Amino acid sequence: MTLLAVERIKLFSTRSPYWCSALAIVLGVGLTAIIAAASEEQVSLGLTQIGSAQLAIAVVLVMAAIAVTTEYRFGTIRSTFLAVPNRTSALVAKTVVVAFIAGVLGEIIAFGSVGIAKLLSSNSDLSINTAAEWRHVAGVGIVYAIGAIIAVAVGILVRQTAGAVSILLVWQMAAEGLIGFIPKVGIKIQAWLPFTNATHFLTMGADSPEQGGAGIDFKLSQWGSLAYFAGIAVAMLVVALIVAKRRDA
């Protein structure tokens, strides 16, 4: 518990978590507000989560990576490892704190988006009743938390802010989507890509353009896709921890 408290204090001693959190909320909830205000028809529950699934998550990934790379940049990671010789414990504590914050932020954005849509489009039916609807909204926080683990792992491996952020943004926002354009095998490969599976977990049934994953023949159920996404995140973190133990800080 002491390590968790220390990592929380260290994280919030810089401005980046505050700015990233604010930007993520503005992008996620703000896009929903624009859609709801501009729409002359009813807004669907799926549309309320476009900002959280496509824009806000990118900012959260950046925040998670910076939580690690900043320490390497300013050399404070050396002090951390001197105070806690067990590097694995220190880095796992940091990962837990960052993932928890990312998860909470995801829930705020997801439910905040539904709330603003109800306010601006009062004639829309945005009630959350079915299990699929709850998964679509409440599942955003879970995806953010797992995504943060991946971002921390990338940060540990790369150690440089620019490199880690570039990898994460290109990976999450472009690379997985572009793979689908590869003739014959692109869509088959997409069915096993981590962030594509995270999107599949959040869908409310048949894939549609507004939910993502259209045309992909997923081999896993939606909860299976979440487990697969989490498995990749844990595997990457394990590799990152092994590398961190074997090289100089």
Residues 123 and 117: beta-carbon distance below 8 Å: no
Its domain, for residue 68, covers 2-246
Number of domains present in the structure of the chain? 1
- Judge contact between 30 and 51, C-beta under 8 A: yes
pLDDT at residue 150, rounded to an integer? 98
> HEC profile for 31-91?
HHHHHHHHCCCCCCHHHHCHHHHHHHHHHHHHHHHHHHHHHHHHCHHHHHHHHCCCHHHHH
What number of CA atoms fall less than 13 Å from residue 67's CA on the CB side?
36
Angle at 141 between CA 240 and CA 15, to 5 degrees: 70
Count helices and strands (H / E) in the chain. 13, 0
CB 201 within 8 A of CB 223: yes
Element (H, E) at 149: helix 131-158
pLDDT at 205: 66
Query: In the prediction, which pLDDT does 18 show?
Result: 93
pLDDT along the chain (249 residues), means of 10: 83 88 95 88 88 90 95 87 87 95 96 93 87 95 97 96 96 92 90 95 64 72 96 97 85
Cα–Cα distance, 185 to 52 (Å, whole number): 29
Q: Which amino acid is at 31?
A: L
- In angstroms, rounded to a whole number, what is the distance separating the alpha carbons of residues 183 and 153? 31
CA trace torsion 48, 51, 52, 55 (10° rounding): 170
Task: Quote helix, strand, coil % in the chain, to nearest 5.
Answer: 75, 0, 25
Collapse the DSSP code of 139 into the 3-class scheme (helix H, G, I; strand E, B; otherwise coil) and give the result. Answer: helix
Contact 51, 113 (CB under 8 A): yes
Residue-level pLDDT at 139: 96
Length of the chain: 249
Burial of residue 116 (number of CB atoms within 10 Å: 0-12, 13-18, 19+):
buried
pLDDT at res. 3: 83
**Is 138 in contact with 46 (CB distance < 8 Å)?**
no
